[in-house]
Amino acid sequence: MTIDPARVRRALATAVPALLAASLLAACEQAPDLPGTDPAPPSASASASGGGDTALPGLPDPAAARDLLAGLTVADAGSMSGYSRDRFPHWATRDGCTVRQLVLARDGDDVTADDDCRPTAGTWTSAYDGETFTEAGDLDIDHVVPLANAWRSGADAWTDDEREAFANDLDGPQLLAVSASSNRSKGDQGPEEWLPPAEAFHCVYASAWTAVKDTYALTVTAAERDTLAELLDGCG
């Protein structure tokens, strides 16, 4: 199937300004609460079972995700020519806090931070494998749809500003604090190649992946689509 450039442009024209605005608003709302407090999770979120109580904003339910999946363009993976993580600038700063710090504050329990937004205490449960941590440095912030995967499925044609918005998206279910080991095991693999060890998280993972691909009009391979469909069909 061919990619519809007009659909991609429409998706980015809608998503990027909205995500940047929402990220700035989220930071303004959360940053003042960071030092010494446990911020409330975003209002538009869903609880991820199986690996903790991580809240993912903008997460569709499985039925909605199946509808989104049906609308995705299926195409072979593109070339990695020209790819660099530097083409997706992160982590951005929002009102004095980095996006990494904001995700750590959102995804942890009883998180406290210093005046520079650096977490000084808290407990984090990695949704991918159920591991629990008390040191923020032991966690990675995962891009649910990896940067390299996005590059191969359409982001190579974006501007650097559009790629920056994707890499720092606080409004959708794209960023998640997880164990460093699970994140590095995943790498840039799609769900047809890698899934979180915590099977109870698979429905959330498939829904999140599908939502991100839809928001940014990214393509899926046939194997990727089939795996997502199987996962979503198995959800309650």
Region 129-137: mean pLDDT is 97
Q: Please give the Cα distance from 5 to 68 (Å, whole number).
A: 18
Neighbours of 174 (CB within 10 A): 27
Among 22-31, 97-106, 131-140, the range scoring the smallest mean pLDDT is 22-31
Q: Please give the Cα distance from 167 to 88 (Å, whole number).
A: 6
> Above pLDDT 70, what percent of the chain?
77
For residue 100, which of 154, 27, 39 has the smallest C-alpha distance? 27
How many Å separate Cα 138 from the centre of its chain?
18
Q: Please give the Cα distance from 68 to 60 (Å, whole number).
A: 9
- C-alpha distances (whole Å) from 69 to each of 9, 65, 219, 223 are 19, 6, 10, 13
Provide the pLDDT for residue 19: 47
User: Predicted confidence band at 39 (pLDDT cuts at 50, 70, 90)?
Assistant: very low
Among 45-59, 61-75, 117-131, 194-208, the range scoring the smallest mean pLDDT is 45-59
pLDDT at 111 exceeding the cut of 90: yes
For residue 11, which of 224, 216, 231 has the smallest C-alpha distance? 216
pTM attached to this predicted model: 0.82
Bridge partners of 56, per DSSP, are 46
Provide the pLDDT for residue 236: 74
Bridge partners of 35, per DSSP, are none
Provide the pLDDT for residue 107: 97
- C-alpha distances (whole Å) from 200 to each of 95, 118, 137, 173, 197 are 35, 31, 25, 17, 9
Sequence-distant contacts of 6-9: CB under 8 A, at least 24 apart: 7/73, 7/217, 8/154, 8/157, 8/217
- How does pLDDT run across 66-109, given as a tens digit for each residue? 999 999 999 999 999 999 999 999 999 998 999 999 999 999 99
Mean pLDDT score of the chain: 85
Of residues 194 and 51, more confidence is placed in 194
**What's phi and psi for 113, nearest 5 deg?**
-140, 160
Provide the pLDDT for residue 120: 97
> What pairing do the DSSP bridges indicate for beta strands 175-179 and 119-125?
unpaired
